A and B are shown apart, each in its own frame.
Chain A
Amino acid sequence: MSRFKDLQKNLFGGTTSNARQFGMIFALVAIVLFFQVWTEGLTLSSGNLIAVVSQYSYILILAIGMLMVIVAGHIDLSVGSVAAFTGIVVAKLMQDHSIHWFLALLIGLGVGALVGAWQGFWVAYVGVPAFIVTLAGMLLFRGANQWVGKSQSIAVPEGFQTIGGGFLDDIGPNTNFNNPTLLLGFAVCVAVIVREWQLRRTRTRMHADPTPLWVAAIRVGVLIAVILFATFRFAGGRVGTSFPISGIILGVLVVAYSFYTRNTAAGRHIYAVGGNSRAAELSGVKLQRVNFMVMMNMGVLAALAGMIFVARSRASGPQDGIGWELDAIAAVFIGGAAVSGGLGTVSGSIVGGLVMAILNNGLILKGIGADSIQMIKGIVLLLAVALDVYNKRQGRFSVIGSITKGFRGSGPSTPSEPPAQKVQTPVVG
């Protein structure tokens, strides 16, 4: 049994706080394999993998921002409307004023920042609950989208389309694969090895328990196998397609925000505020600034997601962004975040988002109707979170339980207490 514990503890580089994520990764693998069999190999075909990445990258980008908002103890219902508003503004600018697409992209991010700052102001400095502020924002920016675009679809120029519908170019010798995608895949493999090596060195230097070598080898081995598999699949799609540009944008954001939320003081402050805002404030965290930045950041990411969607659709329309907030919030919670804040990781949210994406994609491939798919997704969301709550009550392996246990005395379970998240502790580090 000890080996299993070793594996569970070390395989994905974390301890208890990664427990739920660990479960989700296995759920993801199970779902992928299930659909791979059920769809007779379509799920992991090149064409489908490429489609999944370009179809869901914008939702996953939203999930990154939403994770930070939820960790800080808020919620953002306006992301879909903000995305749609930015999309139409950018499309209009390019159509009516023939602004270069790259400049329009920057303006779009600026619009997102302004919208985010507006909402952040009300949340952080006036103290209106984020639920209300963003509910207002949802209406405000949906209306603004239809007002600016006169409820019509507006096409965007070809250059702009690359951020949502573009692929890595075919360059270099004809290897029957897309060369840049191959290089990208190999680079990621090297990065995985280097990082593993660095982690081991750090642990040794700090005289911490080093990860058993065999676990490290499996971890790296599995990761590299998966990456190579994906690389060849993405590089081997229909000519003209390869790894989507939107996927690269997503990848960069995931790495950057993972680092920010895990390894920087400002990032940890978000967890402190969400865990226990009073304690955080007393410890010198600038509460208002953290809340403001989290909301503003969400605005920028929502703008980016909106522009990627518009680029992929080649036009901005009045129905853009409807329901996106729900997809992003679902991804974050399936990925292990706590409803009351203070808990959750960027990578967890991405895994949660991918579970929903593969589920959605697999069901569509099987020709299941949109109505049934919504019902299935609803059930999955409910069950994923219910399982965690249940495990906690049973005194078993649970994220929330394992952290709050030390503060509640010796009893592994306290059934008389109302379930879930009543006891809040700052989770710093």
Chain B
Amino acid sequence: MRKYFAKSVAVSAAALLALTVSACGSEREGTTPSGGSSGGATGGFAADSLIGVALPAKTSENWVLAGDLFTKGLADAGFKADVQYAGASTTVADQQNQITAMTTKQAKVIIIGATDAAQLSAQVDAAHAAGAVVIAYDRLIKGTANVDYYVAFDNFKVGELQAQALLEGMKAKKPAGPYTIELFSGSSDDNNSGVFFDGAMSVLQPLIDSKEIVVGSGQTAVNQTATDGWKAENAQRRMDALLTSTYTGDKTLDGVLSPNDTLARAIITSIKGAGKPIPVVTGQDSEVESVKSIMAGEQYSTINKDTRNLVKASIDMAKALQQGQTPQVNDTKSYNNGVKVVPSYLLPPVIVTKANAAEAYANDPTLSALTK
């Protein structure tokens, strides 16, 4: 026993020393940051390289679908894919850790759907310094010069389309104004929320000024209309409060600007709960439940931003980079992240109402079945 023990101690001590000696190898290569300037497209990389994809928490169907499409699409393209979601409660820290892990695993391209636009810049810098190309997916990352590309739908246009649909819907129900509406915007830590809202207000503000549209509660500032974390419960709670404070008695609500489908359904739930007629409610994302709701005549509109196209555009960028080419972009002016203008590839959004749903979802097996 003694002998055995002494031996095992000696062996483990020797093993530790061996580890120490092997540790003397340094990961430093010369004195310049390795690959520090390879952010563009020089030379490409191996066809079976690792491509990291860091997505936010699974709070909407869209992100779940995107993750599945990335996993499949990247594998089909011959890459090794590492697709990660942030946890439901610790989103920012999770994403930071996941991006760092992808950097450690020497991913060549890291595609990020950011949960917080401002809190990932350190990890993006580190990834870039380690030689990875960083693509911001759907949400721009702010405060760093090391975001290489941005792939998204034209979000300002989304806001405009939502506002136009809201107006059309209300006119169809009630030919003459003034119309009473309420405004909802997304989570204020998501860079897109402001862009959607600005787009919508570019259409609505002139009408508010000319009194053709009245915001019943008077709440028009972004911080009043924001929905923390894009959470349905927060939107529902605010709508409940608005109904109690503003729409008691026979005062009617004609329309609600909702930035996405999850919130739209929460708003409709709240209004139904209060026993009021459902106003015109906009949406975005073409979620299954909302498409059903539109076909049933409850929610008025949604936006079709086909996730397939967005994921495909991102994977095409990775393919171009792999072959050493410069990925295609179509906007080099609009998206300034506070440090630089990020070269962007923008896809056009499509507005969908009950009238054009069958046509809009013709390519989507799940959604087209709902429109019949």
Hey, which bits of chain A sit against chain B, CB under 8 A? 1, 3-4, 7, 42, 45-48, 51, 55, 146, 150-155, 161, 165, 174, 176-177, 218, 221-222, 225-226, 228-229, 232-233, 235-241, 309, 312-315, 317-320, 322-323, 360-361, 364-365, 367, 369-371, 373-374
> Of A42, A161, A237, A312, which is within 8 A of B28 by CB?
A237
**Looking across the interface, which residue of chain A has its beta carbon closest to that of B17?**
A225
> How far is B33's CA from A237's CA once the two chains are assembled, in angstroms?
11
B contact residues around A46 at 8 Å (CB): 26-27
State the Cβ distance, B114 to closest chain A Cβ, in Å: 11
Contact (Cβ within 8 A) A315 B23 = no
Among A154, A161, A320, A323, the one with the most B-chain Cβ atoms within 10 Å of its Cβ is A323
Among B32, B34, B126, B229, the one with the most A-chain Cβ atoms within 10 Å of its Cβ is B126
Contact (Cβ within 8 A) B16 A229 = yes
Q: B223 at the A/B interface (Cβ < 8 Å)? A: yes
Q: B104 at the A/B interface (Cβ < 8 Å)? A: yes
Q: Which of B78-86, B173-181, B243-251 lies on the face that meets chain A?
A: B78-86
Task: Write 11 A-B pairs (CB below 8 A) sorted by A numbering.
Answer: A55-B96, A218-B13, A225-B19, A238-B27, A239-B34, A240-B129, A313-B92, A318-B189, A319-B229, A361-B101, A365-B104
| Known A3-B6, A45-B27, A237-B28; contact A314-B119, beta-carbon cutoff 8 A | yes
Contact (Cβ within 8 A) B119 A153 = yes
Closest 3 A-B residue pairs measured CB to CB?
A: A236-B26, A370-B87, A153-B118
**Looking across the interface, which residue of chain B has its beta carbon closest to that of A174?**
B31
Contact (Cβ within 8 A) A176 B28 = yes
B contact residues around A241 at 8 Å (CB): 126
**Looking across the interface, which residue of chain B has its beta carbon closest to that of A241?**
B126
Contact (Cβ within 8 A) A313 B16 = no
**Looking across the interface, which residue of chain B has its beta carbon closest to that of A223?**
B16
> How far is B91's CA from A233's CA once the two chains are assembled, in angstroms?
29
| Known A3-B2, A236-B27, A370-B94; contact A317-B118, beta-carbon cutoff 8 A | yes
Contact (Cβ within 8 A) B118 A314 = yes
- Considering only residues 24-46 of chain B, those with a C-beta below 8 Å from chain A are 24-34
**Looking across the interface, which residue of chain A has its beta carbon closest to that of B87?**
A370
Q: B198 at the A/B interface (Cβ < 8 Å)? A: no
Contact (Cβ within 8 A) A233 B104 = no
**Looking across the interface, which residue of chain B has its beta carbon closest to that of A320?**
B92
Contact (Cβ within 8 A) B23 A229 = yes
A contact residues around B228 at 8 Å (CB): 146, 151, 318
Among B100, B129, B143, the one with the most A-chain Cβ atoms within 10 Å of its Cβ is B100
What number of A-B contacts does a CB cutoff of 8 Å give?
172
> How far is B101's CA from A42's CA once the two chains are assembled, in angstroms?
9
**Looking across the interface, which residue of chain B has its beta carbon closest to that of A373?**
B87
Contact (Cβ within 8 A) A155 B143 = yes
State the Cβ distance, A161 to closest chain B Cβ, in Å: 8
> How far is B2's CA from A226's CA once the two chains are assembled, in angstroms?
25
Q: B20 at the A/B interface (Cβ < 8 Å)? A: yes
Among B31, B104, B121, the one with the most A-chain Cβ atoms within 10 Å of its Cβ is B104
A contact residues around B317 at 8 Å (CB): none
Contact (Cβ within 8 A) A323 B90 = yes
> How far is B82's CA from A254's CA once the two chains are assembled, in angstroms?
36
**Looking across the interface, which residue of chain A has its beta carbon closest to that of B116?**
A317
Contact (Cβ within 8 A) B104 A48 = yes
A contact residues around B338 at 8 Å (CB): 155
| Known A151-B188, A153-B189, A314-B143; contact A240-B92, beta-carbon cutoff 8 A | no
**Looking across the interface, which residue of chain B has its beta carbon closest to that of A170?**
B31
Contact (Cβ within 8 A) B82 A367 = yes
Among B16, B82, B119, B223, the one with the most A-chain Cβ atoms within 10 Å of its Cβ is B119
Among A146, A153, A312, the one with the most B-chain Cβ atoms within 10 Å of its Cβ is A153
Q: B115 at the A/B interface (Cβ < 8 Å)? A: yes
> How far is B87's CA from A370's CA once the two chains are assembled, in angstroms?
5
| Known A1-B1, A222-B13, A317-B119; contact A229-B19, beta-carbon cutoff 8 A | yes
> How far is B94's CA from A369's CA once the two chains are assembled, in angstroms?
10
Contact (Cβ within 8 A) B84 A369 = yes
Contact (Cβ within 8 A) B104 A317 = no
> Of B24, B30, B84, B223, which is within 8 A of A150 by CB?
B223
Extra contacts, 11 of them, besides A153-B116, A165-B122, A236-B28 (Cβ < 8 A), are A7-B9, A46-B26, A155-B142, A161-B122, A225-B20, A229-B19, A229-B20, A239-B30, A239-B33, A322-B89, A370-B94
> Of A228, A238, A313, A374, which is within 8 A of B122 by CB?
A313
